[in-house]
Structure formats: C-alpha cells, structure tokens
C-alpha cells in the first residue's frame, strides 16, 4: 500500500481503537450496549446509489456502479428470514434487506480494441442480494448474501456503450476481451459501532464509527477494518452514508431526530484481499487477469444532509492501486439518495 494511503489509514484506525470513551457507561448505564429502542421504527426505506469515476475526470478501473436497496420496518420480516435471524448470535431490532445492482470495470484506455495485457480486464457484475440487519442503537450487525452474473450476461457492455452514446463520450472498444460468463456468490458480514467515541467541538456533535467485516465467495474474499469521523448536527440518525461493496459503507436506514440534519465526514479503511474476480479473472475458465495487491487501502470524505424523510450525500473515494502496473489510483464519486416511507 503506498505511503500516502497507509499513513492516514493507520491514523484513523488508531483513533477508532485507542481513544477513550468519556462518560459512556455513566450516561447510558450498565449494559447499555444491548439496550433497544422502546418503540421500533415503523418506516421502510429506499436507497439509490450512483458511483462513477467521471467525478475524478477519468474513465477506467472501477468506472461505474448503480444500486437500489430496500429495508423493511424494524421487526417486520418474512417468516423464513425471521427464523434465520432468531438462531444467529446477534442482538437488536431486525430489518430485512433487498438490493439489486450493477458494477463495471474497464482498463484505463477504453479506446484500444486489442487486449491490454498490462491493465485490468473489462468486467461487469449484475447482482441481487438479500440480508438481515440488527441494530441496537449502539452497534449494527449486517449479514448479506449476493447472487449474480459476471461476464456478458451482466449487461455491463451494453450499459456503458448506451450511456456513452447518449452523453457523446468515448466509445469503449475492448469489451470483446471481458471476463467470461460466471455465476457469482458473495456472503458478507460487517459490524459497526455507533458513537464509540463522542465529543462536541464548537457546539456541534462529533463521533467516530469503527467497523470490521469481511466477504467470502468467488467474486470477493477479503477481511476489512476501518473508521469514519463525523462532525455535524443530528449524528445519531445513521451510521454514515451507504456505499457499494467493497467500499467502507454506512447504513441504508436513517432515523432523523431533527427536521434538518447534516454532517461532514472523513474515513479510512484497509482490506486484506484473498480474491477479487475483477482482477484475478474467471474462477474455472481461462481469462485475462492481472497480479493483484493483497493489501489495499482507501480514504473517503464527503457530506450528508437529512431533511425530514430524505437523506442525500456525496462521497469522494480515493482507493490505492489494486494491481501490479496500475497507472494511477482509482478515485470516484458517489451520490446517494435515501428516503423513508
């Protein structure tokens, strides 16, 4: 991992894990970590993510992602999901999660029709996911499974060509070298701690939200840790803005306590990567691949605003180089819109 990413990552993780928690036990009482809200939240929520590298004026690496997700009200789940949640060792109000999405990856120069052996493969990922979220108000556990397709069946080639034709952008010419069709599965777990360290500079609220997690599957296999620092107004409403895997994510749900809330945030995360199909290539077939970096780091910064039942956020992500010979780090922006109903 390059030094200009490793140092900020180390600082953020140290803050999350080593800073004291002043007054937490006295304010919340014995066993507060397991306390649930008296009245469950009865609102569903929808989230729309749009991630694209044009926010960094580039076109390559992780180039685009879209995602639509729905969360049920607390403790209103399908019978099977509720039974599964009941036997797992997690506590909190439960929500059931559904999502669909598409991600696409390209080499840095999309105008070349020939195979670019020293750059990453063309690849797309079309998926649907479901999962269970447990929230105590002090920590959140999220268990999720995604099923989908990599390769031409993902539709990424047609999506990029259509969008580029509409906006009169460069025509991508190398999709004939994309990864082959392969069904994919990813099982992901993540835990976040809400307000593990809280303070009030300049009359505003501030907190640090650490997280740990990991994924297992033929698409992604990795372990991760990170932390987000937030400063603003009405911080307890969420765990930060949601992003698409494998980025340092927040929560699809938000429960505003004020009519208007906002915060600025900055975060860092690190991942130990065992498998990334978009770099390693197809699992059972020969395909283009590159030598990935096992250790990958990322930084993020942005702003989130809530107004009554709506939350909108912008996040700019800075990701370290992910494979040998990568020309430049991958930077991209994320616009997220969530609403309760």
- Per-residue model confidence as pLDDT tens for the chain (341 residues): 443 444 444 444 444 333 433 333 333 334 444 444 556 788 999 999 999 887 666 667 888 999 999 999 998 899 999 999 999 999 999 999 999 999 999 999 999 999 999 999 999 999 999 999 999 988 999 999 999 999 999 999 999 999 989 888 889 999 999 999 999 999 999 999 987 777 777 778 899 999 999 999 999 999 999 999 999 988 877 898 888 878 777 889 898 888 899 999 999 999 999 999 999 999 999 999 999 999 999 999 999 999 999 999 999 999 999 999 998 888 999 999 999 99
Sequence-separated (6 or more) residues with CB below 8 Å from residue 234: 205, 256, 257, 258, 260, 261, 262, 263, 306
Number of domains observed in the structure of the chain: 1
Is 221 a domain residue? yes
Largest CA distance in the chain: 65
Domain that holds residue 46: 3-15+41-340
Partnered with residue 237 across adjacent β-strands are: none
In a domain, 35, yes or no: no
**Cis status, amide bond into 246, omega within 30 of 0:** yes
In a domain, 29, yes or no: no
Query: Is residue 287 included in any domain, yes or no?
Result: yes
Whether 187 maps to a domain, the answer reads yes
Residue 24 lies in a domain: no
Distances (CA, A) of 47 to 38, 44, 74, 251: 26, 10, 16, 10
CATH no. for residue 166? 2.40.128.140
Q: Are 209 and 181 in contact (CB under 8 A)?
A: no
Residue 174 lies in a domain: yes
In a domain? residue 23: no
- Give a three-class secondary structure readout of 248-305: CCCCCCCCCCCCEEEEEEEEEEEEEEEEEHHHHCCCCCCCCCCCECCEEEEEEEEEEE
- Asked whether the CA dihedral 225, 230, 236, 239 is positive or negative, the reply is negative
């Amino acid at each position: 991992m390059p030094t200009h990413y490793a140092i900020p990552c180390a600082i953020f993780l140290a803050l999350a894990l080593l800073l004291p928690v002043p007054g937490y036990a006295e304010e919340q009482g014995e066993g507060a970590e397991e306390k649930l809200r008296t009245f469950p939240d009865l609102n569903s929520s929808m989230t729309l993510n749009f991630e694209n590298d044009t926010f960094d004026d580039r076109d390559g690496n992780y180039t685009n992602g879209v995602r639509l997700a729905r969360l049920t009200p607390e403790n209103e789940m399908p019978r099977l999901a509720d039974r599964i949640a009941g036997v797992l060792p997690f506590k909190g109000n439960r929500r059931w999660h559904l999502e669909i999405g598409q991600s696409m990856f390209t080499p840095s120069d999309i105008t070349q029709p020939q195979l670019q052996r020293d750059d990453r493969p063309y690849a797309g990922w079309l998926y649907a996911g479901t999962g269970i979220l447990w929230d105590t108000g002090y920590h959140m556990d999220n268990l999720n499974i995604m099923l989908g397709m990599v390769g031409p069946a993902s539709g990424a080639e047609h999506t990029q060509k259509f969008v580029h034709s509409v906006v009169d952008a460069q025509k991508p010419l190398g999709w004939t070298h994309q990864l082959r069709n392969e069904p994919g599965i990813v099982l992901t777990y993540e835990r976040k701690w809400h307000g593990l360290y809280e303070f009030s500079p300049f009359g505003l609220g501030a907190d640090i939200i650490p997280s740990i997690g990991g994924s297992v599957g033929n698409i992604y296999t990795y372990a991760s840790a990170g932390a987000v620092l937030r400063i603003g107004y009405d911080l307890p409403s969420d765990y930060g803005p949601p992003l698409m895997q494998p980025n340092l994510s927040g929560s699809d749900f938000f429960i505003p306590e004020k009519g208007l809330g906002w915060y600025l945030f900055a975060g860092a995360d690190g991942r130990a990567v065992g498998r990334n199909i978009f770099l390693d290539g197809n699992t059972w077939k020969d395909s283009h691949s590159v030598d990935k970096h096992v250790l990958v780091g990322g930084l993020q910064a942005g702003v989130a605003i809530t107004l009554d039942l709506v939350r909108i956020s912008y996040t700019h992500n800075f990701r370290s180089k992910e494979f040998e010979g990568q020309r430049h780090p991958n930077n991209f922006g994320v616009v997220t819109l969530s609403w309760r109903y």
